């Protein structure tokens, strides 16, 4: 049996880390990638080119933790660039095109461990980009939670506190706040009552 396992190809898989802003998604992604590096696995990390909040190239957490990455503009680039990797990390997956689901599936078929982190919903509470599809095809989905800044319960959504209807708006605590479902509904009700 041991000989068979040595000769069989690696088994690929998809892991998704999702949740609101300030929930620790990127921290968890970095933790898993660092552990893979310790295990002497070849790790490649990618992020969308548009995410330049803390660094043009590195994946960076809100509290300053970081790991080197390669910025890319489309999901298809992953198939060209991740050829030698054992583990592929992808941050801010919600900003990629819908093709990311098939790309991650293909990488997993090739025997790669694919670890994806991203917002599951936008500021309106609507499923975001390829994240619902990734959650559907993943072997493992971990939803992490921020803490509601108004009541201390588990956060449900990243509420945008600045004006703008554009779906993609990079930001931090000055632009977004994590809210639980109840507090978010109260904010929406207040906006509808006092426009």
Q: pLDDT digit string (tens) for 5-49?
A: 343 367 899 999 999 999 999 999 999 999 999 999 999 999 888
Share of the chain above pLDDT 70, in %: 81
Catalytic option among 92, 110, 153, 175:
92
pLDDT at 68: 76
Q: What's the whole-number mean pLDDT along residues 47-56?
A: 70
92 in catalytic set: yes
Decide if pLDDT at 152 tops 80: yes
pLDDT at 192: 79
Chain centre to alpha carbon of residue 2: 36
**What are the backbone dihedrals phi and psi of residue 152, each rounded to the nearest 5 degrees, phi first?**
90, 0
Q: What's the whole-number mean pLDDT along residues 57-84?
A: 79
Domain chopping of the chain, boundaries: 10-145
**Up-side HSE of residue 132: CA atoms within 13 Å toward CB?**
7
Give the span between the Cα atoms of 12 and 182, in whole angstroms: 39
CATH architecture group of domain 10-145: 3-Layer(aba) Sandwich (3.40)
**What are the backbone dihedrals phi and psi of residue 127, each rounded to the nearest 5 degrees, phi first?**
-50, 140
Binned at pLDDT 50, 70 and 90, residue 55 comes out as: low
pLDDT at 2: 42
List b or e across 30-51, with b for residues whose CB sees 16 or more CB atoms inside 10 angstroms. Answer: bebbeebeeeeeebbbbbbeeb
pLDDT at 6: 43
Using only C-alpha atoms, the chain has a radius of gyration, in whole angstroms, of: 18
**What are the backbone dihedrals phi and psi of residue 67, each rounded to the nearest 5 degrees, phi first?**
-150, 140
Residue 147, number of CB atoms within 10 A of its CB: 16
- Taking a C-beta distance cutoff of 8 angstroms, is the pair 15, 138 a contact? yes
What contacts 146, CB < 8 A, 6 or more positions away?
Answer: 19, 20, 21, 22, 23, 24, 154, 155, 158, 178
pLDDT at 108: 96
pLDDT at 78: 92
Give the span between the Cα atoms of 59 and 91, in whole angstroms: 7
């Amino acid at each position: 049996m041991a000989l068979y396992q040595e000769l069989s190809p690696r088994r690929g898989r998809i892991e998704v880390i999702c949740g609101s802003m300030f929930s620790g998604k990127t921290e968890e992604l970095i933790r898993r990638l660092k552990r893979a590096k310790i295990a002497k696995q070849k790790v490649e990390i990618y992020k969308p080119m548009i995410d330049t909040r803390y660094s043009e190239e590195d994946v960076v957490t809100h509290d300053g933790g970081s790991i080197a990455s390669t910025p890319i503009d489309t999901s298809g680039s992953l198939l060209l660039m991740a050829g030698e990797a054992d583990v592929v990390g992808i941050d801010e997956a919600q900003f990629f095109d819908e093709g990311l689901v098939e790309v991650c599936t293909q990488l997993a078929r090739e025997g790669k461990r694919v670890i994806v982190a991203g917002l599951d919903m936008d500021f309106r509470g609507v499923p975001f980009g390829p994240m619902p599809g990734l959650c559907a095809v993943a072997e493992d989905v971990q939803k992490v939670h921020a803490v509601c800044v108004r009541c201390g319960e588990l956060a449900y959504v990243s509420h945008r506190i600045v004006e703008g209807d554009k779906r993609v708006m990079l930001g931090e605590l000055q632009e977004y706040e994590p809210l639980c479902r109840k507090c978010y509904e109260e904010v929406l009700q207040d906006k509808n009552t006092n426009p």
